[in-house]
Chains A and B, each alone.
Chain A
Amino acid sequence: MANHAGIEINSVNLKNLLMSKTMYIAYGLLLFALVGVIDVFYERYFLLSATAFDAGLAPGSRDVAEAMKEAVFGTGGEVKREAPWSLYIVNYMYMIYVGSGIIFLVAFAELLDIKLIKKTAAGFLTLGLAMIIAGLFTIMMDLNILHLHQMFLSPRFTSGMWLMMPLYMVYIPLVMFEIYLILAHKDSWVKKIAVLILILSLLVEFVEFYVQAKLFDMNSARHLWTTYPFLTLYFMVSSFVSSAAVMMLYTYLTYRNTDRSKCRDLMSLIQKVTLYSVIALGAYEATAYLFIDKKWAEIILFGDFKFYFYAYLAMAVGIPFALLFKDLPHNGYKILASVFIIVGTYLGKMIFVYGGNAYPMSDRFGVGFEKYTEYEPIKEVIFFMPPVGEIAIVVGSLGIIVLLYKVTDAFLSVSKMREH
């Protein structure tokens, strides 16, 4: 073990680390990411697509003929005109919000001087940060990676995306610094600054949720998003529910064998946070649809999305409420509730994104829905299954979380309970 800048760094046998069970899980998941990246790159940059000029410029070309055939009978490219945002955005939202939610809850608990959270804060923060990085990986794959430098060469600072950019530049280093402060607990001056850092990080958290909401609110055409009442609040509440569930599952997986009594106490504490968050989310969902644009409310509550919506409510609110209402001694109920919440809230994000696109913009004349292409029937609700590459990237993003957490933990023992 070596000591650098107040932090103890473990000397790690790389072979043991790289060949550990957790890392094998990470490799398996990252393999999905690799397949996804190759698929997306092939589809985006190597698949032949023809323009009206090509046939004239290269008459008789086999490649042009293939590309023309693809244009008419193919899937119509990677992005559908009527549903531009899909699973990438769902995963980005989920990872970023849940990661931020964990960081928010930990920072808040530290300010309130909750000892159990303070002991485990480094691990929670590392997990939260890993989720944020996984979210950023997902969104990067959604963009035209070869043009990303244009964000800096030709910036328009008032756009929603640009509001996010400087925030991440402050936010990620700030959280890393916070982890450093926790790990370097021997220095007394660090503790004094910690309060300031915590207040600052809470402020940045608030701003982050506000800006995320602003990003959706700027899409004036998608009224599901623009009519959600207090979108910032919704993002915060729904994030806290999933964040608390992830924290509960993490606590069980990390501390179940090392420190049983503290594990039980910590799970009981998080159970309360989860329960209150679930109640808040339930209360929000019960009232929000009174304000949401009736076209969207109708298809989500009573139309094509109803099964998904009620499944989301059951998994994210109903079942966890029943399982967590009493602090039962057996951890199995809490684990079950966590899994339901994690899956349920992911479904909730899918409904939010896909639902926003679902009511087609194609009724522009108000006299009925229009055909989008010659080869499709008129549709009242737009829903496309995401391509395989997109699904693989989303699955692969979990590998990033496992990899980052495991490597950080191996060197810095972030999961170790610390005495303050």
Chain B
Amino acid sequence: MAQQRGLVRTALRTPTGALALVTVVLLIVLAIVAPMIWGDKATTPNVDHLLEGGSAEHPLGTDNIGRDLLARTLVATRLSLVLSVLIVLVGAGIGVPLGALPTVLGRRSARLTAAITDFALAYPALLLAIFLSVILGAGPTAAVLALGIASAPAFARLTQTLAASVAGSDYVAAAHVLGLSRRRVLFRHVLPNIAEPIILNVTIAIGYALLALSGLSFLGLGVQPPSYDWGQLLTASLNRIYVAPEAALGPCVAIVIAGLAFNGLGEALARAASTRTSYVRSPRRGTAAFTPILPISDDQRVIDDPVLVVEGLTVTFPTGDGSIAPVRGISFSIGNGERIAIVGESGSGKSLTALSLAQLVPHPGTVRADRLEFVGRDLTDGSDPDNVVGTSMAMVFQDTSTSLNPALRIGTQLSEVAEVHGGLRRTEARRRAVDRLREVRLSGPERRLRQFPHELSGGMRQRVMIAVGLMGEPRLIVADEPTSALDVTVQQQILRLLKDIGDDTGASCLLITHDIAVATEMCDRILVMYAGRIVEDIDASRLWEGPTHPYTRALLAAVPDMDTDRDVELASIPGRPPDPADLPPGCAFAPRCAFATDKCREDAPPLLLDKTDSHRVACWHPQQGSVVAHEDDRLESEVG
């Protein structure tokens, strides 16, 4: 009960929720008091005022025996509401047990009940109402029963879904193990846990019942004279809509207000129920989230004939009351035919860096850069008049099962690039598609064109994805974790393919990966990212002997190789990557760094070239010498 009150309070916080609740309460009050106050006025005939229009005395006019229509509308609240509640009681009374049964029955009867529910859900309530009206005679009993029975399947379905999730839980399993009877399990464990969503639905169902009942009464199949509800009042006034439209106004407004109020309250309660859980999850409410973006001037590696030049690239996302910057002013360039890897933990900003190059950062993220040049075109302000991104940049994404459109044939997804950008005809585009599929070594390329992505394996889909990139004339292939969703054996094939494609076409490659071993195997150069910054930029060939940033060295030390003693725990870096909303003022790695000093904690180090002119590092205390792998530690200690 306390839980329920909390829910109502949360629902009340929204204006619509509050308004709906107040209206529902008013309707209930009206249902109780209206017949006492206006009951006489609503039922007393007055032969002096037959069929009048609106007047000061009778705002909505009078009916055919002179009864006041406003009073009748108000008094009808009681019958309309009472019957609606009855309908929902009938519906829930049949539906909830029906839906809860499968949980405690055996599998076979559970399936049967589910099937019956399925059938019944599709059946219109009105047909049932007609059926029952014939048998029972048109009237409120038939209407309530019909609408109740018709709403039962929805309750059954809801209960079934909820109960199934509860029944799968550990405590119900435990109760079964303890030998509790099925009835006991149902009443003690299942029903209490699904009560709340069912009560929510009862609120909404009352709204629907009210509308449906008014409809039946309107048709003459519901409440019969001399009783009256809103639907019946509306029928009576419809014939006079030319002479006294205000007569129809009362019941119309009443039906709409009541329907809106119950639905609105139900929806507000449902929203409150769903946000209550998500509020807990949402971090840092109320505290301003803000990432410091310091004006750090990084060195840029100077190369001839670059395909891509990036300077001061920053990606920011607004939060509730500030903004965070997962990528903070990074600079790098990629030479013609060069293969570069960006390595980092998840959350380091490496994937966003890749997306920002193709202008694919999702809204509301914004990308800013001092300089962003691709194949000599300036893309800094986000414009791309020559469409070099569409034709010369190939994107390969991580999740092969979601990155291709499941509803389109492989052929369409390949050829459309050449049709749109290359101006090729359909047949030419398809010929090129077959050609590209052959290039990515996919068997039976002609047949593949007619297949859908779900008919292909993950590795095959990734080949298709690469082929899509090859449909233009790629100068740069951006591959965002292209193998992490694939089997180990397939991973190697895809990496091999990417490498060969690069060799064949002369395209450069930007590989985003968390696997430093893959990066060194594949690429000429490694960029190590940490907390939205590049902390080291180093030749892959020099990586194993000469990284100087403590983070790079720690990453390398964590890589297992063939000699790794399987009994020894993998080396890991102590601590966690920082939250982008809560970065330290100095070097972001300082809290986890064994060599950090006060300077590191206060000033962020810029990424500077060393004397070799091909190695950049952002560290106040660069380390020297080869990386001490952990197994050596152990050996030494054993020897010592």
- Answer yes or no: do A and B interact: no
- B residues with a Cβ closer than 8 A to A are none
- A residues with a Cβ closer than 8 A to B are none
